[in-house]
A = this chain, B = another copy of it.
Amino acid sequence: MSVSTRDRILDAAEGLFADQGFHLTTLRQITQAAEANLAAVNYYFGSKQELIRAIFRRRLDALNAARLERLDAIEDDGSRPDLEAVLDAFVEPALEFTRGGDAEGQRFMQLLLRAFADRDTALHEAMRHEYAHVMRRFADAVSGALPGADPTRLRHQLDFIVGALTLTMAESALKDTRIIAAELVQFAAAGLRGSLDHRIPESARRTLEATS
């Protein structure tokens, strides 16, 4: 039994979207790569836009599930989880896909980056919804590992980490990703710890006061 046409389309589309972007990739390229008929996309997904959403749903489900699974494993230990372990549970699954041998992991990161860049608000909202409970779980976990942190600030900082992770993973060569991920975890942990004292840099304070 071979792979279903639906799945072949999903796989082919994911690769092409990552390489060329959403608008540049045509349904004719996709169906040709998937060895399916042109009409198959509209038959299975209704439209090109809904095909894109289906791709993200499939991968984000897997990615976030892996993250939560790792977080569960850490927290089940009973003792207070350390900060680096929590961050690693967030970062490492983003690399897990790379294990497959080909550039699948990096491809999906490219795709994620494109989703951030695109102004498709419907897709954006869907992703935010898909991410919401994961981010809350991790915010709680970080809070637990770092008592006394300001919640609003923590949310901003998690966005920093997502940004750093997404952009660097999409950019850097495949070989380096594992090392860079370890560096990112350490960088983020130090950054989070450093915000516990509320020092604001001199020049930034000047800027702030000048506009108040």
Contact = CB atoms under 8 A, between A and B. Distances in A.
B160 A187 contact: yes
Contacts of A117: 21, 110, 113-114, 116-118, 170
Nearest to A161: B164
Nearest to A153: B183
Contact of A211 (B170, B178, B195): B178
Contact of A168 (B156, B200, B201): B156
Interface stretch (A34-42, A87-95, A129-137): A87-95
A184 interface: yes
Contacts of A85: 201-203
A174 interface: no
B160 A164 contact: yes
Contacts of A64: none
Nearest to A112: B117
A21 B186 contact: no
A210 to B, nearest CB: 10
A6 interface: no
A51 interface: no
- The number of chain A residues touching the other chain, given as a range, is 35 or more
A188 B172 CA distance: 20
B178 A168 contact: no
A81 to B, nearest CB: 11
A192 interface: yes
Given A23-B23, A202-B84, A194 B194 contact: yes
Contact of A119 (B20, B162, B199, B204): B20
A189 interface: yes
B178 A200 contact: no
A201 B116 CA distance: 29
A100 to B, nearest CB: 13
Contact of A180 (B23, B84, B89, B156): B156
A28 to B, nearest CB: 16
Given A19-B119, A85-B202, A178-B207, 7 more contacts: A85-B201, A88-B204, A116-B170, A156-B168, A157-B183, A185-B201, A191-B194
